[in-house]
C-alpha cells in the first residue's frame, strides 16, 4: 500500500477560521502583507522568512527575522496561546 494514501489532512479547527478571518498582516517598514498561516499539529504557524523584523497585526506581536510565530487555542481557554520560536 502506498504511504501517501494513508496520510489524511488534519481538520481545521474553528478557532483557526476565526484567526484567518482577522486578516493578520505582517507589517515590515510600513508595508503590510497578509499572513498565510499553516495549520500543523493543532497550531497555526507563520515564519518570518524575510531579512527584517515584522509586526504581526492586529495581534501586536514583534517577530524577528527567521523566527516562527505559533498560535494555538486550548479547549476551555478564553484566549489564544502565542509563542515565538
Q: Which residue ranges make up each domain of the chain?
A: 9-84
pLDDT tens by residue, 34-78: 999 999 988 999 999 999 999 999 999 999 999 999 999 988 888
Whether the CB-CB separation of 16 and 10 falls below 8 Å is answered with: no
Pure H helices in the chain? 14-21
pTM, two decimals, is 0.81
Whether the CB-CB separation of 24 and 45 falls below 8 Å is answered with: no
Which three cell numbers mark 80? 489564544
Whether the CB-CB separation of 85 and 70 falls below 8 Å is answered with: yes
Amino acid at each position: 500500500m502506498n504511504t501517501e494514501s494513508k496520510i489524511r489532512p488534519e481538520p481545521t479547527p474553528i478557532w483557526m477560521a476565526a484567526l484567518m478571518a482577522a486578516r493578520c498582516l505582517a507589517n515590515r517598514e510600513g508595508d503590510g502583507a497578509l499572513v498565510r498561516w499553516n495549520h500543523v499539529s493543532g497550531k497555526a504557524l507563520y515564519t518570518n522568512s524575510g531579512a527584517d523584523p515584522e509586526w504581526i497585526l492586529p495581534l501586536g506581536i514583534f517577530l524577528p527575522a527567521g523566527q516562527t510565530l505559533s498560535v494555538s487555542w486550548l479547549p476551555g481557554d478564553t484566549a489564544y496561546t502565542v509563542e515565538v520560536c
